Amino acid sequence: MPPNIPTYPAAGQNPVNCWQCRFFATSWDPALPYSCTLLGFKSRSLPSVQVRQLDGRECQGSQPKTRPAPQARQVSASRQ
């Protein structure tokens, strides 16, 4: 496993939420609608559920999505 992947928080904390992970994606394949770009697979259920079923642990690669910094709105000269 690459060293830049953080470990998941200790037991008792919130489980992984794929919808809030930066590596989660939806695919165009109706048979496999969910995707994990970090681990490189698509599945019928959320990737964190697949990882938990196969590995027995919560996803170790989950990272929160980052939001771009808000851009300042420019007021046109005619509106000043």
Going residue by residue through the chain (80 aa), what tens digit of pLDDT does each one get?
445 554 445 555 568 899 999 999 999 999 999 999 999 999 999 999 999 999 999 999 999 998 887 887 777 666 65
DSSP strand E in 1-80: where?
Answer: 24-26, 34-36, 41-43
- Structure-token match 């109706």, residue found: 30
Domain range annotation of the chain: 15-58
pTM here is: 0.64
